[in-house]
Structures are given as structure tokens and as C-alpha cells.
Amino acid sequence: MQLSVWTYEGPPHVGAMRVATAMEGMHYLLHAPQGDTYADLLFTMIERRGKRPPVTYTTFEARDLGKDTAQLFQDAARDAAERFQPQAMMVGASCTAELIQDDPAGLSEAMDLPCPVIPLELPSYQRKENWGAAESFYQIVRVLADRNIERAPREGRRPLVNILGPTALGFRHRDDLVEIRKILDELGVDVHLVAPLGASPQDITHIGAADFNIVLYPEIGDEAARWLEREFKQPAIRTVPIGVSATRTFIEEVAELAEVDPTSALGDNSSRMPWWSRSVDSNYLTGKRVFIFGDATHAVAAARIAHEELGFEVCGLGCYNREFARDVRAAAREYGVEPLITDDHMEVEDAIIAAQPEMVLGTQMERHIAKRLGMPCAVISAPVHVQDFPARHSPQMGFEGANVIFDTWVHPLVMGLEEHLLTMFRDDFEFSDENGPSHHAAHAPKMSQARAPTIDADVPEEPVVPADSGSIWTAEAERELKKIPFFVRGKARRNTETFASDHGRAEIDLDTLYDAKAHYAR
Amino acid sequence: MNALPPSSGCASELALKERPSERAPVLRERGQREVFCGLTGIIWLHRKMQDAFFLVVGSRTCAHLLQSAAGVMIFAEPRFATAIMEERDLAGMVDAQEELDRVVGKLLQRRPDINTLFLVGSCPSEVIKLDLAKAAERLGAKHAGDVRILNYSGSGIETTFTQGEDACLASLVPEMPAGDSDGAKELLIVGSLPDIVEDQFLRLFKQLGIERVGMLPARNACDLPAVGPQTRYLLAQPFLSDTAMALENRGAQRLDALFPFGAEGTTAWLRAAATEFGIDEMHFNSVVAGPRKRAKRAIEHSREMLGGKRISFLPDSQLEVPLARFLTQELGMEPVEIGTPYLHRTHLARELELLPETARLSEGQHVDKQLDRVREDRPDLTVCGLGLANPLEAEGFATKWAIELVFSPIHGFEQAGDLAELFARPLRRRDVLRV
Ligand code: SF4
Ligand code: SF4
């Protein structure tokens, strides 16, 4: 048993739901008790979908156990087939139904339903949401793909590509797709199929007709891509185009497989990020220490952008999905940090406290942790939150995605010029600590925020590190410390205290303070 | 449309209330239910009982339900958690009871502030027949003196949404001390209420002259009120059938009343206690008149918006019947369908009498058929769960999320206006928007 307060990933059948809900003409029959219908609200509330997920739950009860749960399943299957007339039906069990072993696959096979059936075996007590999505998508492709399809010869037609991985409830999938289509359009490559998002079972049957695949979200699309590689000899592009350099590499790889000229796509002049990063105002970004945590793909991409494209220093890197831990380990080695592979958010919190970053790039959970610790933050990865479905276009991929990333990461940091001004005028009452920079109110720890018992309570806590362990500080040193801008003061205090204890100093006076400053100077 | 209810509306229906036989039979359906399970109650119960911790023994799904239903990223110090069962627990590689001991030990060590620990059963724990009563007993003995350990089931195969609170409170009843059975009558209010509402009620009872009033649940789970033959209890919530039964078994007697929603419901509810405790009618009226008038005034504001409008309830919290009565009686709405997961005829008898016979009552659920009926009935407002609200809105229906009715203070005189406003706002918003 694992004690858990919050989880990064839902159970695997929620992954299957993300696939089913993304598609058109698909239905998912889930053998599950009534409470499991909560999952619908993820789609209708977080993603604001205007349609119910195409899922029928059998909602068996205790009194059905041991007598007719199997019958219940078959009745529900027949009803769903009749009512929704899907082109294909996924069938499976949630955690509870897995225990009663009704065998949805066998039951539906025996029924001779009017549409193809995709039986899913998603072990709920071992696996999680992403795995469930990947496995479901793979099974759909395997069952539905027409294996006799003949690829038309390349001469005299534009190259065709499948885009694999976008689902419902995906982190910016909607907007990423727009950017990828733009790139492919510029390259003269036609999109044969996007799947699962927007694809019908009918569309999936033709998946083999494309020349190659783009694995946009490896967590979800890679398993299917590997099968397609074997079955249809479709090569796959696995570079995930998040960040400027990855986007360039992606364009070159696509161009090579498609045998087209990448020049115009590479010359896209909407890419502002490189100049924004080189302009003098960004000087202050140099060496900012960032802690990165998310799903493996987004975490690795964020680390590369942070390191190469913004000149940050990666001081922590991790992911919650073990299946892709290898990529994170490799990247962590590159940046000289210890990889953190865990799905326990408390462990992540401890790691953040230990690393003392100047900024956190993480999931919504790390946003909350950072907020409690008074650190700037930006969200880079699922699990999604209603805020991750903005009304405006807000991709992560492609050149526009890089522009968006520049803005969202830099905004939480105190603006370059603003930082100088604060230092210059730190004694001016208008710049008093309590005010803080205007855009930053949300996590200025001094702001006593309403402790209203709101849902999604960003309940501010007292700072974890006691603000006043003052006893060993001399009054003079304490006064000096107050002159340091508030947004670095906490760090200065901690560094000085660590330095003092490492060097056996019983008291922190002015000298200790400046010795410590020199010691930690970069 | 005319603001007055159609001629067969509430006024004439009320006159017919003596003849319940004219009501169409309750529609009973079996099919997909679209409701939360009883675990969801933990979200408000843990806030109410400030020294209690809720440990769900379940699966990743249960943990995910809790975090999704509350929309919670995380509370600073959440007093609930899930012991997620894994392959090892199921395959018998480890003894589930021993694992539970380990997890509880770890938890109690980290949270010495806990006085009461609820082990909450889930579908998986029930299907594998993990005996939580036994676990609670064993762990209770082990931690005796420090923590009381209780258990109940919030599983979706046993409980629907608010029935989780019922199961939780029922598990507290055996723990209540025995009162003085020959002593004076005592009043017990049953059902968790937001603190602010609880305080309002306590003030009113005090003004009425009823001094001995207990609350179940108490704010601190360790301050349980006494119970015995001297106890007269008032249900503050309509979904507490098991709790009521457990109280009756200990000799307590239920005071039959409307539920305290709106000016009329609250007056009737208070009156039931006043009558039982021999409070003088004049005094009752003088205490109640002020807040009652305030409530009426506060409701008036929404009456214009809601009067004559047709409303359907999809089954959710079991609050549907009393709320439909409030909206009919005090706001002039016309209930089209009142769906409820479970219809407790005895507890709701008075409420049902006040509903127009034209209202279709349904119990249980077949969500697809029910949505078909909504499309056919075309009510002006549909009360439904979060999974259905946006899809119905997209089809052009105005909706009210049922869950807000459970999370917001809606009982009593001072909340009557807010309660009406919860229903009026979606309609007002539609009138305001020009996009
Ligand atoms: S319905 Fe059962 S399995 Fe699902 S969340 Fe509720 S208790 Fe857990
Ligand atoms: S204030 Fe800025 S940095 Fe802080 S949470 Fe909001 S957006 Fe993120």
C-alpha cells in the first residue's frame, strides 16, 4: 500500500478515456462502479468540452456482485451499440471490475456486436494514466489498421505523414497541433492522419498509407509508432519540437524523410525567442537556477531550453512517469544533477527545498509548492488544470511555442530593469518589501492572502524555513540583511547560515555575512 | 412567457395535497448512474471535524476521484489520504492487514494531532473483503488512549455521494455517550452544517429557550454529544437514513419536519423542536419573526427571475426533493422532473406532500434516458452533476451544478437568499451575456 494525498497520474482507464474522448465515432464501455463516473468532469470541466465523453459505465452495485454483473455488462454493451452506433467500441474494466474478473473481452466477443471491438487489459494496480493511454491507442491501431493497405508510389504526389499522440485532456495538444500543421504545410508535407485526436475508427484503418509517423507525445504515441514501424515499415520522427533548436532539428528530420527542402520552414521569421534571449534586457537571466519536474518529455525539453536557449542553470531535474525515466536520467547526467524519479509530490517538495532554485518549472503541483515557498514558477507539463486550457492560442511546440515559453517563464521572474530599480531604490518607501513587484502579488509571501476555504485553495503557508532564527545574527548583520532585496534575502539568509555552521561560526556578524557572500559568489 | 405559473400550477396543487394517490407512480430506473460515490463526502466532512483524519483504503481511482471532485490541488494540511492498494497487496504477497498497520502507524506518527481516524472502505477493499472493522478494532486497541479508530464504507458499490456522510455519521453513533435516560429531553441536530449555519441555529434554539442542543457531527469528533431515550433529533439533511436508524436503536426519537431550506422550511423545522420542547407559540413567533422576514425579503430578489420557470433535477445529493419544495413553495417555480438517487419516503413525507402532482418523481437513474427526457421537457433550468453541466449548456440548456448545493451554506433563514440566488444566477447570466 502506498500512502497518497495527491497523484500526478490517474488510473490507466482514465488514459483510455482520453483516447476515446479524443476520437470521433468511438465508444468506450467501461465496467465500473458509479463513483468512477467522476472522470467525466475532467473533460467537461477542466477542458470545457461541450460533449459528454463517449463512455458508458456499467455502474454495478454491491447487490449485483456474484450474480449478474456479467449480464449487466452485456446489456450495457448492447444498449451502447444501439444508442450511439459507434464505428468501433473499446471495452475494459476499471480497478474494481478487474477484481471481479468478468472478462469484458470474452463477454463482448461472445456477443457479436455490430462493430469492431477493442478489448483493453489495463492492470489498474500496476499501471497509470499515460501507460493506459498508450496501450489503448496501440490496441486500437493494432485491431483496426488495414494490414493489406498498399502505399502509393512516391512519384507525383506529396509526402504523407501521420501525427501520433495528441489526446483529450492533453497539455496544450490542441495548440501544438496547429503549429505542427503550419510547419508541415510550409514543408509541403500532407497530414494523412492525426490520431487519436479527431480521428475516427474508419480513419485509423488507413493509417498504413502514410509514408512516416511523427511521434508528438511519446508517452502516448510511441507504443503504436513502434508497431507501425514493424508492420508498415513506417519510420518515425521522435524529436519533440519544443524549443527553438529542437524545432529546427525536427524540421530537418521531417524534410529528410519527406525528401523536401527545409529552407523556408527553417527561415520562419515569427521566431522571436532567440533575439529576445540575446537582447541585453535578458542578461539578468544568466545562470538563474531552475528546478524542473514534469512528465519526462516535457521535463527534458524544458531542461534543454533552460540550459541552451535561456542560459539558466539546471539545478534539479525529474519526472513522475517511470516508463520514460531513462530519458530523464540521461539528461540529468548532462547537466550534472541527480535525476529525481518519483510520483510522490512530497519527495519533490523536499528536493525543491534542498535545491533552493530561483525558479521552478513544473506541473500544477510544483506551482503550488513553489507558491508556498515563495518561489517564481511556470507550468510546463501535465497533469492539467483548468488554467492549462487558455482561451488564447498558447502552444509549446514550434517557433511560436518557443515564443510562448519565453514569455511564460520570464514573466514570473522579476523583470531585468525592474530588478535594477528595486536595488537602486530599495530604501524608497514605494518599493517597500510588502509591495513587491506588481505582477508578482500571487506569490509574494508577505501578502496575507484570504484564507477563504475556497476549492483549489492555494492555501498559503508560513514559509517553510523559519524567517527568524535570528538568535545567532548580530543586530548589525540583521540590519544589513534587511537591505538586501527581499526576493533574494531568503536565499542570502540561508546561505549565510549554512556557511556559518559549515565554518563553525557561532555568531553571524557583518564579516560572516560578507564572507558567505564571497563564498557563494558565482 | 407569463410570470405566473400555469393554471395547473402550485397553488391548485397545494390544495390537492391531501390526496397523494393522484400522483403518478415514482419512475424507477436502472441503467448508468452518473453520480459520485460516498468517498466524496470526505471533502466536506474533513473540514467539519477538525480533529479527524480520513484514510481511504482503495485504489488509484479513489485517490483520483477525491482530488478531482474537490478540484483540489492540495490543501496545506489535508486531513485525508488514500492508502493505494497495489499488485502486491492483491496477489497476497503481503498481508493487507499488516500493510494497513504499517500505513496507519506511519500516518499517526506524522500527524499526532489526529484524535479520530476513519478507515474508509472503497469498492476494491470491499470486493477483496478486506475487513476494515477488524482492522479498526485491532488498531484502536493498539493506539488506545491516543486515537479512536472507526470505519465506514464510502464505496461506490454501496453508497451514492451523500450516503458517505450517512455512513460516516452512523459509525459515530455507537461512540456517543449514553445520556441520562430519565433526564430532561435533549435536542440533537443531525447532519454536517457549515460552522456559520450551525452557530445561527444554536443561537435560535437558545433564544427559543432550548438549552440542551447537541450536534452530530461535532466540530471536534472527540466531543460527541450524548444519546438515549431522552434524545429528540432533527435531521438537518435528507440523506441520513442509516444514521437515523442507528440513533433510533439507541432510543432517540425523530422530530418530523420539513428540512430547513428557505423561510418556510426553516420555520417548520424550528417549530417541530419548539413544539416538542413545549415552547410557547407566542415566544416562538417573536423569536422567528425577524429572521423569517429577512429570509423572505432576501428571496424576493430572485423570485422575479425564477417565478413560473420550469426546473428539472438529475439525481445527485438527495437534496432534490426538499429543494424542489423550496423552489415551488417559496419561489413559484414549477418542478418538471425531480430525480433523486434514493427516495426516503418517511423522512421526506412532509416535503412530498407539498410538491405539485404534475412533478415527475424518479428514483435511481438511467442517465441516457433521463437526458432524453430533459431534451423533451426543455426545462428552463436543469440541476445536474459536473460531468453533465457543460454538455447540456452546449445543447442550449441552462444548468446549475448540483455539487455547489452541497458545498455552500444553504440551510436556515440567513442563507435562504443565497440559496435562491444559486438557482437564479445561471438564468440571470444568460440574460446578461451578449456573446
Ligand atoms: S466508485 Fe469505488 S473505486 Fe470508484 S472511486 Fe468510488 S470507491 Fe473508489
Ligand atoms: S504570479 Fe506569475 S509566477 Fe506566480 S503563479 Fe502567477 S503566473 Fe506563476
Which of A483-492, B87-96, B141-150 is modeled with the greatest confidence? Answer: B141-150
A363, A388, A440, best to mutate for ligand 2 pocket (most atoms within 8 Å of CB): A440
Using a CB-CB cut-off of 8 Å, the residues of chain B touching A33 are: 37, 123, 155-157
Label residue A445 by pLDDT band (50, 70, 90). very low
Nearest-Cα distance to chain A for B312, in Å, is 19
**pLDDT for the residue B210:** 97
Using a CB-CB cut-off of 8 Å, the residues of chain A touching B163 are: none
**pLDDT for the residue A74:** 95
**pLDDT for the residue B180:** 84
Give the pLDDT mean for B365-394.
96
Label residue A514 by pLDDT band (50, 70, 90). confident
Query: Is B128 a domain residue?
Result: yes
Nearest residue to A5 via CA among B104, B67, B119, B168: B67
Same domain, yes or no, for B306 and B426?
Answer: yes
Residue A492 reports pLDDT greater than 90? no
Same domain, yes or no, for B116 and B198?
Answer: no
Report DSSP state, residue A168: T
Q: Are B220 and B50 in contact (CB under 8 A)?
A: yes
Residue nearest to atom 8 of ligand 1 (CA): B62
Please report where in the chains the cell 539545478 appears, as a residue.
A315
In this structure, what C-alpha cell is assigned to residue A486? 527581499
**pLDDT for the residue B77:** 63
Query: Is B13 a domain residue?
Result: no
**pLDDT for the residue B235:** 98
Report DSSP state, residue A504: T
Residue A428 reports pLDDT greater than 70? no
pLDDT tens per residue, range A190-228: 999 999 999 999 999 999 999 999 999 999 999 999 999
Nearest residue to B344 via CA among B373, B376, B317: B317
CA dihedral B68, A371, A316, A323 (to 10 degrees): 0
**pLDDT for the residue A347:** 94
Say which of A2, A45, A364 has its CB closest to residue B86: A2
In this structure, what C-alpha cell is assigned to residue A134? 498508450
Same domain, yes or no, for B314 and B430?
Answer: yes
Q: Are A95 and B60 in contact (CB under 8 A)?
A: yes
Q: Are A395 and A179 in contact (CB under 8 A)?
A: yes
Label residue A418 by pLDDT band (50, 70, 90). low
Which residues have C-beta within 8 Å of that of residue A294, sequence separation ≥ 6? A302, A319, A320, A361, A362, A363, A366, A380, A381, A382
H or E segment at B391? helix B386-394
Nearest residue to B118 via CA among B82, B156, B75, B161: B82
Percent of chain A with pLDDT over 90: 71
pLDDT tens per residue, range A231-257: 999 999 999 999 999 999 999 999 999
Which residues have C-beta within 8 Å of that of residue B12, sequence separation ≥ 6? none
Query: Is B430 a domain residue?
Result: yes
**pLDDT for the residue B301:** 86
Q: Are B264 and B258 in contact (CB under 8 A)?
A: yes
| A427: exposed, middle or buried (Cβ count in 10 Å: 0-12, 13-18, 19+) | exposed
**pLDDT for the residue A462:** 34
| Top-confidence residue, A268 or B431 | B431
Same domain, yes or no, for B269 and B306?
Answer: no
pLDDT tens per residue, range B308-348: 999 999 999 999 999 999 999 999 999 999 999 999 999 99
Query: Is B56 a domain residue?
Result: yes
Given B144, B159, B174, the domain boundary residue is B159
Give the pLDDT mean for B350-363.
96
CB atoms inside a 10 Å sphere around CB A487? 20
Among all residues of chain B, which has the CA nearest to that of A7? B64
Label residue A281 by pLDDT band (50, 70, 90). confident
- State the distance from the centre of ligand 2 to the C-alpha of A371, rounded, in angstroms: 8
Chain centroid to Cα A428, Å, comes to 41
Residue B154 reports pLDDT greater than 90? yes
Length of chain A: 522
CATH number at residue B336: 3.40.50.1980
Which residues have C-beta within 8 Å of that of residue A324, sequence separation ≥ 6? A218, A219, A295, A296, A297
Active-site residue flag, A281: yes
B40, B57, B125, B155, best to mutate for ligand 1 pocket (most atoms within 8 Å of CB): B155
pLDDT tens per residue, range A137-158: 999 999 999 999 988 898 889 9
Strands (E), B219-269: 231-235, 253-254
**pLDDT for the residue A519:** 82
Residue type (1 letter), A49: R
Report DSSP state, residue B255: P
Query: Is B221 a domain residue?
Result: yes
Residue B11 reports pLDDT greater than 50? no
Chain centroid to Cα A344, Å, comes to 16
Residue B101 reports pLDDT greater than 70? yes
What are the φ and ψ backbone dihedral angles of A358, each rounded to 5 degrees? -90, -10
Nearest residue to A59 via CA among A31, A88, A22: A31
Given B142, B159, B176, the domain boundary residue is B159
Same domain, yes or no, for B319 and B273?
Answer: no
| B19: exposed, middle or buried (Cβ count in 10 Å: 0-12, 13-18, 19+) | exposed
Same domain, yes or no, for B51 and B139?
Answer: yes
Among all residues of chain A, which has the CA nearest to that of B129? A99
pLDDT tens per residue, range B214-249: 999 998 877 899 999 999 999 999 999 999 999 999
Q: Which of residues 328-367 of B touch A (CB under 8 A)?
A: none
Please report where in the chains the cell 454536517 appears, as a residue.
B192
> How far apart are alpha carbons B400 and B389 in whole angstroms?
7
**pLDDT for the residue A436:** 42
Query: What domain range includes position B96?
Result: 38-159
Same domain, yes or no, for B268 and B342?
Answer: no
> How far apart are alpha carbons B48 and B187 in whole angstroms?
20
Check CB contact under 8 Å for B65 and A99. no
Lowest mean pLDDT among A226-240, B13-27, B93-107, B390-404: B13-27
Query: Is B324 a domain residue?
Result: yes
**pLDDT for the residue B221:** 77
Q: What's the mean pLDDT when you consider all of chain B?
A: 91
Beta strand A2-4 pairing with B80-84: antiparallel
| A421: exposed, middle or buried (Cβ count in 10 Å: 0-12, 13-18, 19+) | middle
| Top-confidence residue, B178 or A458 | B178
Residue B37 reports pLDDT greater than 90? yes
Same domain, yes or no, for B262 and B342?
Answer: no
Q: Are A217 and A166 in contact (CB under 8 A)?
A: yes
Residue A442 reports pLDDT greater than 90? no
Same domain, yes or no, for B205 and B136?
Answer: no
**pLDDT for the residue A164:** 98
| Cα→Cα distances A407→A314, A379, A402, B221, Å | 19, 12, 9, 49
In chain B, the number of structural domains is: 3
CB atoms inside a 10 Å sphere around CB A373? 21
Same domain, yes or no, for B69 and B129?
Answer: yes
Same domain, yes or no, for B205 and B273?
Answer: yes
> How far apart are alpha carbons A45 and A50 in whole angstroms?
9
Query: Is B292 a domain residue?
Result: no
Residue type (1 letter), A255: A
Evaluate the CA torsion angle B10, B11, B12, B14 in order and state its sign: positive
Label residue B184 by pLDDT band (50, 70, 90). very high
Q: Are A375 and A316 in contact (CB under 8 A)?
A: no
Give the pLDDT mean for B185-209.
96
Label residue A374 by pLDDT band (50, 70, 90). confident
Tell me the three state secondary structure of residue A493: helix
CA dihedral A25, A26, A29, A32 (to 10 degrees): -110
> How far apart are alpha carbons B328 and B322 in whole angstroms?
10
In this structure, what C-alpha cell is assigned to residue A141? 491501431
In this structure, what C-alpha cell is assigned to residue A63? 447487490
Q: What's the mean pLDDT when you consider all of chain A?
A: 88
Nearest residue to A241 via CA among A318, A175, A169, A301: A301
Check CB contact under 8 Å for A455 and B388. no
Given B140, B159, B178, the domain boundary residue is B159
Same domain, yes or no, for B324 and B393?
Answer: yes
Does B111 touch chain A if contact means CB atoms closer than 8 Å?
no
> How far apart are alpha carbons A144 and A139 in whole angstroms?
8
**pLDDT for the residue B410:** 97
In this structure, what C-alpha cell is assigned to residue A360? 521552478
Check CB contact under 8 Å for A33 and B80. no
In this structure, what C-alpha cell is assigned to residue A40? 467525466
Q: What pTM was estimated for this model as a whole?
A: 0.88
Q: Are A359 and A284 in contact (CB under 8 A)?
A: no
Ligand 2 atom closest to A441 (CA): 1
In this structure, what C-alpha cell is assigned to residue A501? 555552521
In this structure, what C-alpha cell is assigned to residue B378? 426543455
Using a CB-CB cut-off of 8 Å, the residues of chain B touching A1 are: 57, 83-86, 89, 96, 99-100, 102-103
Does B60 touch chain A if contact means CB atoms closer than 8 Å?
yes
Query: Is B295 a domain residue?
Result: no
